[in-house]
Amino acid sequence: MNFELTINTTQDITADIEVIIVSEQNLEHRFVQDRELLEKAGFKGTQDETCLLIEKDRLYVGIDSISSINVRTAVAIAIRTLSNTPYTSIKIASYMNHPKCTAVLRGMVEGFVLGAYSFDRYKSEKSKLAIENITISLDEYNGYELNIEPCSIAMGNGQISAEATNFTRDIVNTTPDDCYPKVMAKIAKKLAKENGLDCKILKPKKLRKEKMETLLAVARASRHKPRVIHLTHKPKDAKAVVTIVGKGLTYDSGGLSLKPSDYMVTMKSDKSGGSAVLGIMKAVSEMNLPIEVHGFIGAVENMIGGDAYKPDDVLVAKNGKTIEIRNTDAEGRLVLADVLCYAQQEVKADYIFDMATLTGASVVGVGHYTSSIMGNSDEVKTMILKASKISGEFATKLDFNRYLKKSLNSEIADICNISNTRYGGAITAGQFLETFIDDHHKDKWAHIDIAGPAFVEHTWGENPHGASGAGVRLMSRLIEGLARPKK
């Protein structure tokens, strides 16, 4: 999909169809040329409502108010509406809520790219979106005079972040028989080669040398050997150092604590955290942000067999902590424990984040569409929440407390891999991970549980059925924020 920015008005642009965004309060706006037809069609201009006037080659789509989140979903709905039409080009005006804030324009570009996404790798008949070219006019809805240079940057970054999100969606949607640890490592190597990243892959022999025994225990019943992936974007004169650790469970059967069959379906999505790290590294490198970014992924498959690790085992993590295993389906935190320790050994970061589809408790607590943010530092958690709002991803804080942490106590080891209570499972999982954060990073770390939004089996907003690419836009926006000069 090609984007072009122009100072010409939409009337002077040649395209197959025009997309017009309009709110219920502004049906009399100068952009609305078909008031009578819209009235006959019953179009009210409510959020994401569409009306395609084929005879006029105009598609109207409604918004509640002009904001990046509203425009992003509106244009995603618009591009889906046009998916089965022969139109090959679109023209659209600009919509801003401030003459110097380009977030809405970026949201528009992201909406087009994200809304056009489809995953048809396993279908006999492939989908084919005819739209190839989108021209955006700087003729602005509120009459603001826009500077083409920052608008062009916003358009470019929006396209990069959205395409990186779609890249992540593809990895998550790929079946476990086609995407296992070795394949994730190949994807990382290819990305590194194409985007000028450094790439280091740790195989089992090196993992044993690094004493990553909890990760190896989770992996040992699978025929697919584990990998730990380390990607690096290292610009000159970096303004900050950021580490991101992702859970890459390419499939999770639950191990000997076997999942019920209906819970096992969609477990290809348990690699969403690691896949998001790949997408983030793609976005950061293509934007060439002046931030040193390290992406670590623990790529593992959790299966059953005679060599599977067991409830009642006691494992020793890389940092020497002993872990009593009471449930083999609480495996992601074991993988992350070792990878977090390794990441901190390799890099002293200004900020360290881990991303994982870690707990069903997060979904129960905050729903399918929201990520849960945990950590010791209110400043770091607030930074993530701010980035989530700008990016259009939903997130909320879950606070630690000492009473829940006691529920992880073990009588025979340093810590248990699950809580002794059924309540507060998302928080206790975060507190388990905190055990593996060293003193240097204690107040620089945050845990992001993306179990809710990472994979949803219906279309929502700009997101399709299946993988959403949760975390890519959020973290890209956060890193972009670190790159800006402080006021």
Question: Which one, of 231, 239, 233, lies nearest residue 285 by Cα?
Answer: 233
Task: Exactly one of 169, 268, 333, 405 is catalytic; name it.
Answer: 333
HEC letters along the chain? CEEEEECCCHHHCCCCEEEEEEEHHHCCCCCCCCHHHHHHHCCCCCCCCEEEECCCCEEEEEECCCCHHHHHHHHHHHHHHCCCCCCCEEEEEECCCCCCCCHHHHHHHHHHHHHCCCCCCCCCCCCCCCCCEEEEEEEECCCCCCCHHHHHHHHHHHHHHHHHHHHHHHHHHCCCCCCCHHHHHHHHHHHHHHHCCEEEEECHHHHHHCCCHHHHHHHCCCCCCCEEEEEEECCCCCCCEEEEEEEEEEEECCCCCCCCHHHHCCHHHHHHHHHHHHHHHHHHHHHCCCCEEEEEEEEEEECCCCCCCCCCCEEECCCCCEEECCCCCCCHHHHHHHHHHHHHHHCCCCEEEEEECCCHHHHHHHCCCEEEEEECCHHHHHHHHHHHHHHCCEEEECCCCHHHHHHHCCCCCCEECCCCCCCCHHHHHHHHHHCCCCHHHCCCEEEEECCCCCEECCCECCECCEECCCCHHHHHHHHHHHHCCCC
Tokens 């076997």 map to which residue?
258
Chain centroid to CA 394: how far?
A: 11
* Cα 83–Cα 473–Cα 234 angle in degrees, nearest 5: 130
Distance CA 34, CA 27 (A): 9
Task: Exactly one of 259, 321, 389, 397 is catalytic; name it.
Answer: 259
- With b meaning 16 or more CB within 10 Å and e meaning fewer, what string describes 93-124? bbbbbeeeebbbbbbbbbbbbbbbbbbeeeee
Question: Which one, of 427, 432, 430, lies nearest residue 408 by Cα?
Answer: 432
Residues 312, 204, 179, 436, CA torsion sign: positive
CB atoms within 10 A of CB 422: 9
Task: Return the bridge partners of 227, or none.
Answer: 299
259 is an active site residue: yes
Active site amino acids: 259, 333
